[in-house]
Amino acid sequence: MTDIDSEDTENIEKLVLKESIISAVGLSPNQVQIGIKGDPSIRESVLMRKRYTSKVDTVFEVLEPHLEDLMLNRGIYRIFVGFNSGEVRTNSIFDPLRQEVHDAEKLSDTQYIERQFPRIEYAEKIKLMRDLYATLRASQQYKAMPTYWQNILNRRSDKWQPLEPENIPNILSTVRKLREIEEYYLRNITICIVQGIVRMQFNCDGTQIIDAHNFRVFLEENLP
């Protein structure tokens, strides 16, 4: 590969960061919310897609504390809840490259939770994340990457702070209210403690990506 001088490296770094909708760290400090527009025909058909009570809705009172438990006391660092599909997707620090899919009804069973999700304290989970990243940075494959990418990823690791645990119940406690919005109700939600973001899709086009630290601000500005 042709060597890139330091000035070109810096310019490429800036371009990569500018092109990214959201970085591995999360949203930049001046961003509370990013909206990605989707198919406009979906927006036009909103009134024809009435909200129905899904099986996730029927079990969510029990499911909510279990999801909180997964994020705070077990190996899960990302969850996706699909109200239309009835699925909950999870990513575990114990098997970080794979995503598992669970039936929401099964996740309402305490014994199922105990069998499927090993316990780990939140602080220990964060430490394991840092250890995994340190191992990755020490690998020969990582060091073979272009210098500008190493610079970007190293800075991300140096500045990285996980989502504070108290934010998790604050977010989950609002889900039912978001589901009850007339016409523009919540269809799915993803919470990630690595990037500190909440990704949501409503009954309209596009996706909303919210800084989890400012989630309350988003709700105050967008909920009636």
Strands 186-192 and 99-103: unpaired
Q: Is residue 53 part of a domain?
A: yes
Q: Which long-range contacts (CB under 8 A, 24 or more apart) does 58-64 make?
A: 59/104, 59/105, 59/108, 60/175, 60/176, 60/179, 62/108, 63/88, 63/104, 63/107, 63/108, 64/172, 64/173, 64/175, 64/176
CA neighbor of 49 nearest in space, from 181, 210, 147: 181
pLDDT digits (tens, 9 = 90+) for 167-219: 999 899 989 888 887 777 888 999 999 888 888 888 766 678 888 877 777 77
Q: The whole model's pTM is what?
A: 0.81
- Tell me if 187 sits within 8 A of 195, measured CB to CB: no
pLDDT of res. 49: 56
In this predicted structure, which of 16-30, 85-99, 157-171 has the lowest mean pLDDT?
16-30
At 182 the pLDDT is: 76
Domain span at residue 108 reads 31-121+165-222
Which pLDDT score, from 0 to 100, does residue 24 have? Answer: 44
Q: With respect to residue 22, please indicate whether it lies within any of the assigned structural domains.
A: no
pLDDT at 48 over 80: no
In the structure, what pLDDT confidence band is assigned to residue 16 with cuts at 50, 70 and 90?
Answer: low
Residue 66 lies in a domain: yes
Is 54 within a domain?
A: yes
Per-residue pLDDT tens for 84-141? 889 999 999 999 999 999 999 999 999 999 999 999 999 999 999 999 999 999 999 9
Q: Which residues pair with 211 in a beta bridge?
A: 197
Q: Residue 43 falls within a domain, yes or no?
A: yes
- Identify whether 79 is part of a domain: yes
- For the chain, the average pLDDT equals 82
Give domain status of residue 144, yes or no. no
The reply to whether 26 falls in a domain is no
Structurally, the chain folds into a number of domains equal to 1
The single residue listed with the structure tokens 């609002």 is: 174
